[in-house]
């Protein structure tokens, strides 16, 4: 199965301010922006619920409303809330080029992660798996049992990460896919450089 890592340069203080703000105007703007996707999801959810004898599925529109209006969240629908957070990041942030991180197997992320360890990048400073995929969302959500995986890097963490993702370490990579691994790491560096320059944080969603 093919996966991808979707990065956004965002202001986490702004995202945290919007979520729980009870702003009807913010909810209206988000609904207008994602009208087609929300309607498609609602139809699919209604179809699923009509045939489901178990816990009902939560429409994405309702998940978005729960987050913005600070309503009670369904504890078994973490994935829907994760998707809603992605919508919010997309609306308030900037999507970053991710051609080196699409159409991949999760094993590729593990390979890049392991290579960074091999060349001496401290995992407490930066880890592909630990920071970009499995760190968890930057706001409190119900547990997500499936996709999306969510990770983030705060703006204050970026300088230390760039300091360890050096050209010297990239040159020290000895692997049969060394060139592709370097390109993947360089794209992460580009994300971080963009965030640092524009005073943003980085949030990633993996499906």
- 3-class DSSP state of 128: helix
Contact (Cβ atoms closer than 8 angstroms) between residue 77 and residue 63 = yes
For residue 14, pLDDT over 70 is answered with yes
Q: What pLDDT, in 10s, does the model give residues 66-124?
A: 999 999 999 999 999 999 999 999 999 999 999 999 998 999 999 999 999 999 999 99
Residues 6+ apart with CB under 8 A from 10: 89, 92, 93, 94, 200, 201, 202, 203
Q: What pLDDT, in 10s, does the model give residues 31-75?
A: 999 999 999 999 999 888 887 667 899 999 999 999 999 999 999
For residue 184, pLDDT over 90 is answered with yes
Listed residue (2, 21, 9, 4) closest to 152, CA to CA: 9
What is the value of pTM for the model shown? 0.94
- Residue ranges per structural domain of the chain: 5-10+95-206, 12-94
Instruction: Determine the distance from the C-alpha atom of residue 114 to the mean position of all C-alpha atoms in its chain, rounded to a whole number.
Output: 21
Distance separating alpha carbons of residues 120 and 172, to the nearest angstrom: 10
Distance separating alpha carbons of residues 155 and 175, to the nearest angstrom: 31
């Amino acid at each position: 199965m093919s996966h991808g890592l979707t990065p956004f340069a965002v202001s986490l203080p702004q995202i945290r301010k919007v979520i729980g703000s009870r702003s009807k105007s913010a909810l209206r703007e988000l609904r207008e922006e994602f009208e087609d996707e929300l309607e498609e999801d609602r139809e699919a959810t209604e179809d699923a619920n009509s045939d489901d004898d178990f816990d009902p599925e939560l429409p994405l529109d309702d998940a978005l409303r729960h987050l913005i209006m600070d309503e009670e969240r369904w504890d078994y629908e973490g994935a829907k809330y994760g998707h809603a957070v992605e919508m919010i990041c997309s609306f308030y942030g900037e999507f970053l080029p991710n051609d080196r991180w699409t159409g991949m197997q999760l094993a590729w992320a593990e390979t890049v992660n392991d290579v960074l360890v091999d060349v001496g990048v401290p995992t407490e400073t930066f880890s592909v798996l630990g920071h970009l995929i499995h760190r968890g969302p930057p706001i409190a959500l119900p547990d997500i049992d499936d996709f999306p995986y969510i990770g983030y890097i705060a703006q204050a963490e970026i300088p230390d990460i760039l300091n360890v993702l050096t050209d010297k370490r990239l040159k020290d990579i000895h692997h049969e896919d060394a060139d592709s691994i370097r390109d993947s790491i360089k794209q992460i560096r580009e994300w971080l450089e963009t965030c640092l320059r524009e005073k943003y944080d980085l949030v990633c969603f993996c499906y």
